[in-house]
Structure formats: structure tokens, C-alpha cells
Amino acid sequence: MEKGGSKGKGENPEQCFDVPRALAERGITRRDFMKFCTAMSAALALPMTLVPRIAAALESDARPSIIWLEFQSCTGDTEALLRAANPTVGEIILDVLSIDYAETIMAAAGHQAEEARAKTVKESRGKYIAIVEGAVPMKDGGIYCCIGGRSALDIVREVCGGALATITVGTCASYGGIPAAAPNPTGAVGVKEAVPGATVINLPGCPVNTDNLVATVVHFLTFGKLPAVDGKGRPLFAYGKRIHDNCERRPHFDAGQYVESWGSEAHRSGHCLYKMGCKGPETFHNCPVQRYNEKTSWPVGSGHGCAGCSEPQFWDTMTPFYRRLPNVPGFGIETTADKIGTGLAVATAAAFAAHGVVSGFRHKDDESKDGKGGNQ
Amino acid sequence: MKQNQECLHETYVWEVPVRVTHWVNVLSIATLSVTGIFIGSPVTLGLTASAYVMGWIRFIHFVAGYLFAISVVSRIYWSFVSNRYAGWREFVPFLSAEGRRNMWRMFAYYTFMSRKVPHPIGHNALAGATYLLVFLLYLVMILTGFTLYSEHAPHGPLHALLGWMFAHFSNQGIRQTHHLIMWFLIGFAIHHIYSAWLMDVKERGGVISSIFGGYKPVQGRE
């Protein structure tokens, strides 16, 4: 998106930008472009027959305006997008969008920048797309995150409230993420919670997978609407399958081969990370298939269990990351449910054994009629 | 007892569905616990990547889970059509003054405060109330178990039926509950076997053999 600058903001980008030329300038052939369109149709689980339609949509002049907002975040999602080693077709597709406001990458600053945003919100009301990165603090009137003298809550209500649709990138914008972790001092929430009336599609992940963002945009450009979502507002094409079920280490899970310690022979042989606390069996994302950094790798592929970063409240509910089960409140930090349970079973057996010994020595039970209570 | 022996006659207490569901529960809980402990903290038993140790153990766990669920639901249904000894009223003794008195008598006997052995025909009142709690735990186990199981097909009918669980409880919380209740049920099983043994000795009413044969010797006609 640094291309946002290269295409020359302010000099009427409608006239100086078209996809075939941009592709040619970057040395991307028509063949590569069609391969990209095919890959997108696969990512979106669309039939091959729709590839020409995707290509036509991407080459058309339809250029929705984009406002990229950033609140309580580490800029990791922007980084994920910008740090691609080579200019990919996907980045150029994002160039298809007219990014009118994005603090990290825009040339304008200060009031000039704020004006650009206000202009888009006012002039393209109901037609622009908002992309939000980072959580929105709600506590104390939202004072914990202010930009240009306005609170994040105020800005997100105005921008997302007037947008055609909002795409949240990363877990913070989707569900509050790390800023919302207990005790959540700033009252951080995701966009849908901050602006319940907005049309929001969540692309959680830490960071968002750029491929999924591009695919969501391609879906929008091709069909004029957002893709189908699951109960957590995430597109099914990217979050419809469980990590565990597409994991390259899954055969070792089923076989019964587990990593017991880091750096062990089993770990180096690529065995299953289930016992090291991998949350793959309960998390939904296309990481094993789509991977990160131009399909180089993903956490489990590089030997670390899934932390569940794409699930709501992952920081509070998926920890400890290196254990299968959470700690039991009120017990020591190393105490698992199973340790407590074993203690419980042993204590029960001991108690009844003691009862049995006492009963064994009691011979003078009352056998009179009075003794025959019960519920007859 | 001796002088009354001639007055004893057989009473059919536990009907076939009661005994069948009891033993299916025993079998499935034992199977589910053993396989469940392995699933929760497995050891490397697979020698090669083409083994299927976890696969089979999970399969057994799921089959036993279905068996257990069917058994529990059948037993709940039976409590509405059965004889009085297995009926639903047996499990809520605390609703009547007499039931509360019986619960207290049993409690006093268990805790050595009284030497009077209660001689109920069916469940003793304290046991009846305990089974209500145990069946509630069964239902929580079935609910949490099938909810976790449904994740293998996130858009399937089972997930549609139980997906609401994830909206109210965290996934890890559901897992934690599933583990903890297993240990409560193991604790219950220890208590249950001990108490049956104790009462078999003290009541001399053949309570242990009654869950095999269904009959109990009872004094005087009902």
C-alpha cells in the first residue's frame, strides 16, 4: 500500500491508474494475473467458471474508497500487508482500492489528513469501505485512545456507521484482542461491539493473513457484497475449517505420536504438538492451507502450537499457551483439573476406607422396627 | 432378623430397563474414563506415522459416548413409566417432610450418629437425592462432550444443535468442565460401590444381588 503514495494522491487517481498498466509496470505478466485470479477463486471456494468474472471485476474501474482506521493496535496488520518481500498481484489489487486515509502510509498529516477522511465520509457516504485495525476503548467515554482530539469510539461510530461495510483486520479490531485481555483496563472492544449497527466482517488473526484480506476484497469487487460469515462474523472461506483438520501434523495426532518436550527427537521429526498445548483442535482458520508470508510457513509448521489467536478472548481463554487445559482458579498455577481430580478420587477412596474400618468394628446396630425407616 | 425369616417374600424392585441402563452406564463410564484420560493426556504409543492409536481410542470414546447418552436418556424416560422404586419421585425426597426425615436418618447412620439401620426397599432417600445430582452431572457431561465433538463438523447438524454452548462458555472452559466432572463421577463410583457393599453387610437385604436379579427379600406384604 506504499503504492498509495506512488500512484500520486491528490492528482485524480481515477485517470492515472489502471490494473493492466500497474501489472505491466511491476513486471507481472497476464499469465501471472490469471493465475492469481484462479488462486483467489480457489481461496474463496468458488468454481473455476467464475475466474473470468473475477478477472473482469479486478480490471474494471470500480474503485471503492477505503478508510483505514487504526486504534489500540501494534500496527502488526499494516506491517503484515506492507512487508511482503516482492510486490504481489494481491498488493496491486489493494491498489485498485482508493485508500483515502491510512495514518501509517498516507503522505498527508495532521489536519490535512483528518480533512481527507472527513471528505470521504461526507461525500461517499454509504459507498466507501472502512478497514479497522486495533481495538476501541469504551471506558471513561473512550478517552484512552484519541486521534486529532477525537476519541476512537467517536471516529469509529462516524466512519463505520456511514460505511458500506467494515472489514476488521486482526483480532483486536474483531474482538478486542490483547487490549481487551483481563482486566481490560480501557474497556477495549471489537468494532461490532462498539458500533452494533455497522455491517462488519471480521478477519481476526495475529496478524491478519493478507491473502484473506485480499480475497475478501476480491469477493466484494466481483460480487458487490461481502462473503458469507460464521457465527463470529468471520468469512467461511477462511474460517470455516478447523486448524486441526487441515494440519500437516494431524497424521501424528491420529497415529499417537506426540512431542513431549521442545527440541526433542519427536519435535524435530514433526510430531503432533497437542501435548505442548496446541489449540488447533478448537480453532478455526485457514493457516495450515494459506500460510503466512507468501505461503512460507505458519506457527505449527515451524514447530509451535496454535495459540488460538483468531478466536474471541483468546488471551484470556487459551492461556496457558503451553498446556492443554486452563489453570483451576483457587489452586496453584501448575495445578490442572486432572491433578485435582486424581487427588479428589484418592481422598474419596481414603475417606470411605476409613469409614469402612469404623463400620467394621460397629456391631451393635439397632435391628428394631424403629430402625426400619427408609422411604417405604 | 432370624425370627422373621419366614415372613420374607420376594419383591420385584429393579425392572429390566433399570438394570440394563445401570450396567450400560457402568460399562460406558469406565470406557469413557479410560479413553478420556488417554485423550486428555496421551502417551506416544504410535510407533509409526501410519499407526492409528489416537484415532481408535477416540472412536471408542465417541461410540461409548453415544451409548451412554442413549442409556441416560432411556433411564430418565423410564423414571416416568416405571414402578415406584425407580420413579422420578425417588430422586427428589427433599420435596416431602417424610423424605427429608428419611434423608436425615440415613445421614445420621452414615456418620455414626445413629445405630438405626434404615431398611428402604428401593433407594434410600439420601442415595435418591445423590442420584439426582449424578444424573445432572451426566447431562452436563453429555452436553459438553457432544459440544466438543461437534467441532469436527462446524456446519453440521450437531454443531447447529449445540453451537449455542460456545456463545455462553469458552471452549477451554467446556473442556475443563468435561475433565473435572469425570473426576467427580469417579469419586461417586468409589462411594457408590463402598455404600452398596456397606448396606449389603448392614441391611442384609441383598442390595448388591438385587441389581443383577431385580428381586429383594422384603419383610411383610406391601
Using one digit for the tens of pLDDT, what is the confidence trace for A159-193?
999 999 999 999 999 999 999 999 999 999 999 99
Q: Above 50 in pLDDT, residue B214?
A: yes
Q: Would you call B102 and A364 a contact, using CB atoms and an 8 Å cutoff?
A: no
The set of cell numbers assigned to B42 is 496421551
Domain extent, residue B146, equals 2-219
Using one digit for the tens of pLDDT, what is the confidence trace for A306-340?
999 999 999 999 989 999 998 887 777 677 788 88
A14 touches B: beta carbon within 8 Å = no
Using one digit for the tens of pLDDT, what is the confidence trace for B163-208?
899 889 999 999 999 999 999 999 999 999 999 999 888 888 888 9
What CATH number does residue B113 fall under? 1.20.950.20
So what's the pLDDT on residue B221? 54
Average pLDDT over residues A104-123: 87
Residue tagged 457393599 (cell numbers):
B197
Q: Would you call A348 and B112 a contact, using CB atoms and an 8 Å cutoff?
A: no
So what's the pLDDT on residue A57? 86
DSSP one-letter code for A163: S
Using one digit for the tens of pLDDT, what is the confidence trace for B89-109?
999 999 999 999 999 999 998
pLDDT band, very low/low/confident/very high, at A360 (cuts 50, 70, 90): confident
- Residues of A with Cβ-Cβ distance to B124 under 8 angstroms: 374-375
* Greatest alpha-carbon span in chain A: 105
Contact A182, A316 (CB under 8 A): yes
Closest by CA position to A213, among listed A94, A62, A88, A71 = A94
Residue B17's contacts (CB-CB under 8 Å, 6 or more residues apart) are: B74, B75, B78, B82
So what's the pLDDT on residue A83? 72
CB atoms within 10 A of CB A360: 10
Q: Above 60 in pLDDT, residue A6?
A: no
Closest-CA distance of chain A to residue B31, Å:
17
So what's the pLDDT on residue B4? 55
Contact A232, A240 (CB under 8 A): no
At A152, give phi and psi (nearest 5°): -55, -40
C-alpha distances in Å from residue B14, one per residue of A311, B78, B157: 49, 11, 37
So what's the pLDDT on residue A4? 40
So what's the pLDDT on residue A116? 86
Q: Would you call A374 and B154 a contact, using CB atoms and an 8 Å cutoff?
A: no
Average pLDDT over residues B55-76: 97
Over pLDDT 90: what percentage of chain A?
50
Cα gap B105→B116, rounded to integer Å: 8
Nearest residue of A to residue B159, measured between CA atoms? A231
Interface of B with A in 7-36 (CB under 8 A): none
Interface test with B, best of A283, A375, A376 (most B CBs within 10 A): A375
So what's the pLDDT on residue A96? 65
A274 touches B: beta carbon within 8 Å = yes
Q: Above 90 in pLDDT, residue A374?
A: no
- Residues of A with Cβ-Cβ distance to B2 under 8 angstroms: none
Cα gap A300→A314, rounded to integer Å: 17
| Mean per-residue pLDDT of chain B | 91
Q: Which of the listed ranges A204-218, A264-278, A343-357 does the model predict with the highest average pLDDT?
A: A264-278
The set of cell numbers assigned to A107 is 503522505
So what's the pLDDT on residue A87? 57
So what's the pLDDT on residue A372? 44
pLDDT band, very low/low/confident/very high, at A158 (cuts 50, 70, 90): very high
Q: Above 70 in pLDDT, residue B154?
A: yes
pLDDT band, very low/low/confident/very high, at B133 (cuts 50, 70, 90): very high
- Residues of B with Cβ-Cβ distance to A274 under 8 angstroms: 42
So what's the pLDDT on residue A16? 52
Using one digit for the tens of pLDDT, what is the confidence trace for A41-99?
888 888 989 999 988 888 876 678 889 999 999 999 988 887 765 556 677 666 767 77
C-alpha distances in Å from residue A201, one per residue of A170, A174, A217, A236, A321: 11, 8, 11, 11, 27
Q: Which domains does chain A have, with CATH numbers?
A: 3-239 (3.40.50.700), 243-317 (4.10.480.10)
pLDDT band, very low/low/confident/very high, at B222 (cuts 50, 70, 90): very low
In chain B, the number of structural domains is 1
A285 touches B: beta carbon within 8 Å = no
